[in-house]
């Protein structure tokens, strides 16, 4: 499977410009990749202005993703802001050329930045299957919580979409590798570049990591760009069989 990580320079709260920029970045990917991964809140940047910018879950951004997926014959995923029953969610969507749709609402809201005061916590952990691979999506701050992302034999690829400022980039880079190693899975981490309305800069550091914690592909720091990486389910399965750490893992249950 080929995965394309897209690291745009996100323009603050400008949906039309951000969509146009992403389209320009991936216009030649048709037939060359299986999945295109976009950052957290890729249409707006990480913002608390949900009242102004929220959509319904199957609104304009979802429709754009679906059309792009069908035209390019690849799946598309990333997060954007939705409103449901008068509540706001940081909403991850994964759409396929077959018009399948998988969604996840961010579980761990960044209370340090006030995200929990505007958005509602997601209740459900999601895993899903696409092209024989099993996926677990996370959104940004979720990455810091290993219990939530613990592999219980239910996924092969962890996708984390983020708006992660460069002042904490060491944590981002370290946690992505840790999640890959401890869960014996591929990790796809996609972040943006640019500067937001609060003056925070974003380095990107978008990357694909193998189960040993080795970088398979990445985008240059502080630059918009993309990279396509091929991952192998058979190689992952062989590694897990030869080094079955999962057999010694602790059993537990989550209170959701």
Residues designated catalytic: 40, 106, 140
CA distance 174 to 67: 35
SS (H, E, C) the chain: CEEEEEECECCCCCHHHHHHHHHHHCCCCCCCCCEEECCCCCCCCCCCCHHHHCECCCCHHHHHHHHHHHHHCCEEEEEEEEEECCEEEEEEEEECCCCCEEEEECCCCCHHHCHHHHECCCCCCCCEEECCEEEEEEEHHHHHCHHHHCCCCCCCEEEEECCCCHHHHHHHHHHHHHHHHHHCCEEEEECCEEECCCCCEEECCCEEECCCCCEEEECCCCCCEEEEEECCHHHHHHHHHHCCHHHHCCCCCCCC
CA distance 95 to 61: 11
Nearest residue to 62 via CA among 6, 101, 23, 31: 101
Asked whether 40 and 46 are in contact (CB, 8 A), the reply is yes
């Amino acid at each position: 499977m080929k995965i394309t990580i897209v690291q745009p320079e996100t323009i603050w709260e400008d949906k039309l410009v951000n969509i146009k920029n992403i389209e320009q970045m991936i216009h030649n990917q048709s037939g060359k990749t299986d999945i295109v991964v976009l950052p957290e809140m890729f249409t707006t940047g990480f913002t608390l202005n949900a009242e102004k910018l929220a959509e319904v879950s199957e609104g304009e951004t979802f429709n754009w993703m679906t059309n792009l997926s069908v035209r390019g014959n690849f799946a598309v995923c990333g997060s954007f802001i939705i409103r449901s029953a008068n509540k706001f969610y940081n909403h991850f969507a994964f759409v396929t050329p077959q018009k399948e749709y998988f969604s996840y609402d961010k579980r761990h809201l960044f209370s340090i930045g006030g995200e929990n005061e505007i958005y509602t916590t997601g209740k459900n952990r999601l895993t899903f299957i696409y092209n024989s691979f099993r996926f677990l999506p996370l959104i940004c701050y979720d990455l810091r919580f290993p219990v939530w992302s613990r592999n219980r034999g239910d996924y092969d690829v962890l996708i984390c979409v983020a708006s992660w400022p460069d002042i904490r980039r060491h944590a981002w880079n370290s946690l992505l590798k840790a999640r890959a190693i401890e869960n014996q899975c591929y990790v796809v981490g996609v972040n943006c570049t640019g500067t937001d309305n609060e003056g925070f800069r974003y380095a990107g550091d978008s990357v694909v990591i193998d189960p040993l914690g080795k970088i398979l592909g990445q985008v240059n720091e502080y630059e918009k760009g993309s990279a396509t990486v091929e991952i192998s389910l058979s190689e992952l399965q062989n590694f897990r069989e030869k080094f079955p750490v999962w057999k010694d893992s602790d059993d537990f249950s989550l209170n959701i």
